[in-house]
């Protein structure tokens, strides 16, 4: 089973997801630790890049990791077997809108960089809430490409980023979803919602972040959609070259780059909403 989604399932994208998760593990997973024995559902686990960090942060939790793409799941299995041999993870290939679990069968739900790709993220959150026991928690992490601020500033670089925003929107997703997590969760019936912006900032004094985040995560993501942006008539070869070159300038001496992720946590209310 597979779906057509903006980043695709190439080897390069698998590497980018791994780099992204490793570069951001401390930033994104800080505060996420599930008690031993608790049942955790991760949806859209991809190649297991976040699963590996979930396992490391919650070694006694019983994690079920789901993705719609079988090849990604196979990679996820090997990744977690390599990083945490013997980890208690169950893998399931399936569509998060059509999962086979009984109601209230999980204590916690974890979803990272998935809602941004869905046509109806609110419906996803409603559907998934059924699998959470009352009082169970959801953690949702998303980016927001509107939060990319950099020096030297460049209209061409901003236009290149906007190509990604437009392509994702055409595919039914939303690359500006981070700022919308609170209303999405509220409208999906969750309570006790807390959203924390988790900014990444890289400059020459943080060379590892420049390499792992600015270059290998963010710029790599923008560069990967070049052919699609050109084919869709969103840019020209010259404009694209200028835009991506200007993004790379932010990684050089005197360059700086800022991006914000949004981490939301919320609770499945003890009583059904409206009761």
User: Which residues are near ligand SAM by CB under 6 A?
Assistant: 3, 5, 7, 17, 21, 43-46, 49-50, 66-69, 72, 95-97, 112-114, 117
Name residue 267's beta-bridge partners. 137, 191
CA 227 – CA 240 distance, rounded (Å)? 10
Question: Closer to ligand SAM at the Cβ: 142 or 203?
Answer: 142
Question: Closer to ligand SAM at the Cβ: 128 or 246?
Answer: 128
**Residue 238: CB minimum distance to ligand SAM, A:** 29
Name residue 257's beta-bridge partners. 150, 202
**Residue 256: CB minimum distance to ligand SAM, A:** 25
CA 28 – CA 259 distance, rounded (Å)? 13
Kind of pairing between the strands at 132-143 and 149-151: unpaired
Question: Closer to ligand SAM at the Cβ: 209 or 221?
Answer: 221
Q: Tokens 């993705």, residue?
A: 67
DSSP string computed for 152-169: S--HHHHHHHHHHHHHHH
Question: Closer to ligand SAM at the Cβ: 198 or 242?
Answer: 198
CA 40 – CA 46 distance, rounded (Å)? 16
Burial category of 105 from C-beta neighbours within 10 Å (exposed 0-12, middle 13-18, buried 19 and up):
middle
**Residue 172: CB minimum distance to ligand SAM, A:** 10
Q: Enter the DSSP assignment of 203.
A: E
Question: Closer to ligand SAM at the Cβ: 66 or 266?
Answer: 66
CA 204 – CA 253 distance, rounded (Å)? 6
**Residue 67: CB minimum distance to ligand SAM, A:** 5
Closest chain position to ligand SAM (CB): 46
CA 261 – CA 241 distance, rounded (Å)? 27
**Residue 69: CB minimum distance to ligand SAM, A:** 4
Question: Closer to ligand SAM at the Cβ: 69 or 235?
Answer: 69
CA 31 – CA 185 distance, rounded (Å)? 19
**Residue 140: CB minimum distance to ligand SAM, A:** 11
Question: Closer to ligand SAM at the Cβ: 34 or 113?
Answer: 113
Query: Cα separations (Å) of 174 from 43, 107, 129, 190, 191?
Result: 18, 28, 21, 21, 23
**Residue 141: CB minimum distance to ligand SAM, A:** 8
**Residue 207: CB minimum distance to ligand SAM, A:** 24
Question: Closer to ligand SAM at the Cβ: 99 or 186?
Answer: 99
């Amino acid at each position: 089973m597979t779906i057509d989604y903006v980043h695709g399932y190439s080897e390069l994208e698998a590497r980018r997801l791994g780099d992204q998760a490793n570069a951001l593990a401390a930033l994104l997973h800080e505060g996420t630790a599930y008690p031993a024995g608790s049942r955790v559902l991760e949806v859209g686990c991809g190649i297991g890049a976040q699963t590996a960090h979930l396992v490391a942060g919650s070694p006694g939790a019983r994690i079920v990791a789901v993705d719609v793409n079988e090849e990604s799941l196979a990679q996820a299995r090997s990744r977690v077997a390599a990083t945490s041999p013997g980890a208690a993870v169950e893998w399931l290939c399936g569509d998060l809108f059509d999962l086979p679990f009984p109601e209230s069968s999980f204590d916690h739900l974890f979803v990272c960089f998935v809602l941004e790709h869905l046509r109806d993220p609110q419906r996803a959150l409603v559907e998934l809430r059924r699998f959470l026991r009352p009082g169970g928690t959801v953690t949702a992490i998303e980016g927001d490409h509107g939060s990319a601020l950099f020096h030297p500033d460049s209209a061409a670089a901003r236009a290149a980023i906007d190509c990604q925003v437009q392509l994702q929107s055409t595919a039914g997703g939303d690359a500006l979803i981070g700022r919308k997590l609170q209303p999405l969760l509220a409208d999906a019936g969750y309570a006790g919602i807390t959203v924390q912006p988790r900014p990444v900032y890289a400059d020459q004094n943080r060379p590892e972040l420049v390499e792992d985040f600015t270059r290998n995560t963010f710029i790599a993501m923008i560069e990967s959609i070049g052919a699609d942006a050109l084919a869709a008539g969103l840019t020209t070869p010259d404009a694209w070259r200028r835009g991506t070159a200007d993004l790379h300038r932010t990684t050089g001496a005197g360059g700086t780059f800022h991006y914000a992720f949004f981490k939301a946590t919320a609770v499945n209310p003890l009583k059904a909403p409206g009761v």
